[in-house]
Structure 1
Amino acid sequence: MSIEENLDPTDWEGMRELGHHMVDDMLDYLRTVRERPAWQHAPPEVKEHFTASLPLEPQPPEQVYQEFLEKILPYPVGNIHPRFWGWVFGTGTVSGAFAELLAGAMNVGASGGLAHHSSIHVEKQVLGWFKEMLGFPASAGGLLTSGCSASNLIGLAVARNTKAGYDLRREGLDASRVRLVLYAAQEIHSSVQKAVELLGLGSRALRLVPVNERFQMDLPSLKSAIFDDRQSGLLPFCVVAAAGTTNTGAIDDLETLADICKQENLWLHVDGAFGAWAALAPRYRHLVKGMEQADSLAFDLHKWMYMPYDIGCILVRNPDHLSDTFSIMPDYLAHGEGQRGLTGADLPWFGTYGFELSRSFRALKAWMSLKEHGALKYGRLIQQNIDQAGYLASLIQAQAELELSAPVELNVVCFRFLNPRLGEPGLDQLNKHIEVELQESGIAVTSGTRINGRYVLHLAHCNHRTRREDFEILVAEVIRLGREYLVINNPDSVL
């Protein structure tokens, strides 16, 4: 008779000791993060290590963990570091990491409304908290997602199906007598275009509206585009507004857009990936006024709420629209009858509110984080980040060799090193050099983008560990690197 196997430890006490070791190591790793580079490149031998063949036989867990310590842990993206501001990354927290451990140990599938299924109660509660924090009605529907790419896809799927004017789920897009079109500013996140393409509308259906001098959607241009499309026999169905663009942090005029959408019978979807959380900052919540009127709102918690990856959310004002778009209830998922057993409770079945049935217990890290710190502290931290971004802007404006490239209205700062004797191509090359040198030296991580065709350094500040002195270091290093580049590559341009 063969021996029946399982995947539990053969030595529970040994695994307990190893687990304690892991927790101690990770706490030390986070506590001492300032002592390490913001980022470092994995050397060739580490990359080569990950070409090894498939393991066929067991290895001691202590050995596997040691391999992690040597080959994986030293080479992360770096967004836990106080001087990481590239792209739009959150920082994570200690309790959030612990919540991931607890959720992994429970290993629940957080899709169904099963009776004695605690994760459903937790997700329902945190969704209620988010509605309260962001001004959405308590009756709204919603669910947690992997992030705003998924949230935008869900929100736009609901908008498409609701505004199509026929049973699109049954008949498909081919049955539409008119072409559906929607609108967003030229600065909108690329995930919106990706969602439009995945929904079968084609990228041509996404009308990219010009922006004004503050990089907001230009409202006269929007109205004109809607009018022209109706005159051409097309069916406008949605406006996608930005509450904080990736490039500049711009927030569209949400109140006016809400009015336009009501007048034109259009769905208003707000991509509030990080900027939605300005609603918690006492001096800046006016910037997102009107967001609460949206038909759907997408946002992340792993950016400006500092929670470990991944966790996002979609809220839909009318919960029936959400379930009408996604709900399928085969016999093997029937629930809510009899009030007994795992399927007895009539609770939200989150798997019918989106495209995923298998879902992790993301709600736990949100629940634990909000209970540990409280919403008011998150508001203070967001306010602190905005104030720190303003401080960085003032440091830049005080330096003749630096130039702000866009207004700083939230937590995004774009700037570049200048030299009057270099043309635009030369300045692009110089600023790209500074970006790479900052990263490879481990001093700080910024990213780069183009503003009005010019390559600039880009910082999105969602970092609760940053201090003002970190921005002083950044400015000093940018100037040093810029001057060194000019001496080596173009000495005649040094003034």
Structure 2
Amino acid sequence: MAPPDERALPAPDGSTGLDPEDWDSFRSLAHRAVDDLVDHLAGRRDQPVWRPMPDEVRHSFDGPLPRAAAGADAAYREVLARVVPYSMGNDHPRFWGWYMGAGHPVGNLADLVASVINPNLGGADHSPVLVEQQVVRWCAEAAGYPTSASGLLVGGASEANMVGLAVARSARLGRSLREEGMPSGRRLTVYASTEVHSCHRKSCELLGLGAAALRHVAVHDDFTLDVGALAAAIAADREAGLEPLAVVASAGTVNTGAVDDLEAVADLCEREGLWFHVDGAIGGFLGLSGSAASVRGIERADSLALDLHKWMQAPIDVGLVLVRDEPAHRSTFSVIPTYLAHTDRGIAASEVWFSEYGLALSRGFRALRVWMGFLAYGADAFGGVIDRTTALARRLAETVDAHPEVQRMAPVGCDIVCLRYAPPATAAADLDAVNREVVLRVQEGGVAVVTDTVLRGSVAVRVAISNHRTRAADLDLFLEEFVRHGREVVAERGRG
């Protein structure tokens, strides 16, 4: 193809690209934004946790692509008007919905730095790669896992869990899997409790094993995996001609925070020759806390999924997968095309290219928010958060147990309390509908965010206190409002 005629190219116009023409004006805007956001955090407790979005705000997002420039100042005003007031609310002290941390100011600052220098963590020789390598080692140490393990920061524990199972599959089936795909006639199976997170079903589907490959095993009354039932399920599948591959143990289940007996599962996997994977999204860092004994055996896992934006409070999103066998991890994902050839010198000279340990080549600098957090606060501070939120959960459970109108639905696992409004005069058949409505009213009232789930066929209200900003008074206020809404809903249904 002939080179372009230089006379046809646009003449230089002195444009600075997308940089501001007036850096001082942009500096003033940036300083104002930082001040606004610090004020937001400092005063967050006095604001609603979450608020329903007005129709006019919702419909304002239906507009067409803007072609003309409005300017950075105008764009920032839109953020303040239409985004910040209607965010999810998990930066608030009374957000206990699903399971996520509140973030922390040092992590917020780290994200600003990371976005400005904007490195690609796929690989190459630059200091951010060393930051991520150190974060991997620090997190392994914090979790009580071998620091020699291979590791990769990912978007969250769902992705980390899938990477762990992908390595398990590759380790079992060998190199031919990558060249020829899943072998015909072999049906691999993965075992986990009935309380396991839904991401494991997605993993089995995406890895070509199929949803049916995930065998859900019964749990005890405390919602931990029944290891005896697990052994029986493995034996039955072998007898039926299936090929057991891996066991997923939960260090903190999603519904109740139950921690499986990791030592017992490790022993079984060793006897049976199965890959031992631990989903530590919730409780994987209990080793930093006074409850470290509850995750004894985690160090024996072949792979471990962790989540830094839950109990470890890093801004969303950042998870971590650790794999004991580094060659197995790398051989599952490594592809080195000519344009990514590694060198002994220059920018391509790096011992570790993270692109060889997962799917992504372009990877953001997630590691900085974790690295700066460890440096600024110290690992023991995060252990203190775990101990404090666990103590708050047990305090809430004791208050619930003493309340005549509220019923606890499960043992307290980690920092999750499951309860429901259940006054003696209300028929059991009505309680599911009552509690679903109460949850909505609590959310819409802006006092707190909690969510509901189902335990043994009944609706339970789930309070996941994974928030370093929560105080005892916050939980007292929630329970007061919860009971008030419960009484209103029961009275309205009685009149109806």
**How would you bin the TM-score normalised by the shorter chain?**
over 0.9
Q: Specify the code of the residue in structure 2 equivalent to 1:296.
A: S
Q: Which of the residues 153, 157, 167 maps onto 2:162?
A: 153
State whether structure 2 residue 138 is matched by structure 1 residue 129: yes
* 1:3 corresponds to: 12
Q: Which of the residues 107, 118, 121 maps onto 1:107?
A: 118
- 1:9-408 equivalences under 5 Å are 9-112=20-123, 114-115=124-125, 117-164=126-173, 167-173=176-182, 175-282=183-290, 284-337=291-344, 340-345=345-350, 347-408=351-412
Q: Specify the code of the residue in structure 2 equivalent to 1:12.
A: W
Q: Secondary structure at the match of 1:59?
A: coil
| TM-score normalised according to structure 2 size | 0.96
State whether structure 2 residue 472 is matched by structure 1 residue 464: no
Unaligned runs of at least 5 residues, structure 2: 1-9
Separation of aligned partners in 2, 1:278 and 1:125: 20
Superposed CA offset, 1:134-170 (max 9, x none): 1211221011000011101111000011122663112
* 2:5 corresponds to: none
Q: Secondary structure at the match of 1:415?
A: strand
* 1:489 corresponds to: 493
Q: Secondary structure at the match of 2:244?
A: strand
* 2:4 corresponds to: none
Q: Specify the code of the residue in structure 1 equivalent to 2:341.
A: A
> How many Å apart are 1:422 and its aligned residue?
3.0
Q: Residues 131 and 137 of structure 1 are in contact (CA less than 8 Å); yes or no, is this contact kept in structure 2?
A: yes
Separation of aligned partners in 2, 1:3 and 1:395: 71
Separation of aligned partners in 2, 1:488 and 1:343: 68
Separation of aligned partners in 2, 1:486 and 1:230: 52
Q: Secondary structure at the match of 2:414?
A: coil
Q: Which of the residues 419, 433, 438 maps onto 2:437?
A: 433
Q: Specify the code of the residue in structure 1 equivalent to 2:409.
A: S
Q: Secondary structure at the match of 1:237?
A: strand
Separation of aligned partners in 2, 1:202 and 1:424: 38
Q: Residues 256 and 412 of structure 2 are in contact (CA less than 8 Å); yes or no, is this contact kept in structure 1?
A: yes
Q: Specify the code of the residue in structure 1 equivalent to 2:71.
A: P
Q: Specify the code of the residue in structure 2 equivalent to 1:14.
A: S
Runs ≥4 residues deviating over 6 A:
none
- 1:466-481 equivalences under 5 Å are 466-481=470-485
Q: Secondary structure at the match of 1:17?
A: helix
> How many Å apart are 1:491 and its aligned residue?
5.6
Q: Specify the code of the residue in structure 2 equivalent to 1:281.
A: S
> How many Å apart are 1:344 and its aligned residue?
2.3
Q: Secondary structure at the match of 2:179?
A: helix
> How many Å apart are 1:381 and its aligned residue?
1.0
Separation of aligned partners in 2, 1:91 and 1:327: 35
Equivalent pairs: percent with the same residue?
44
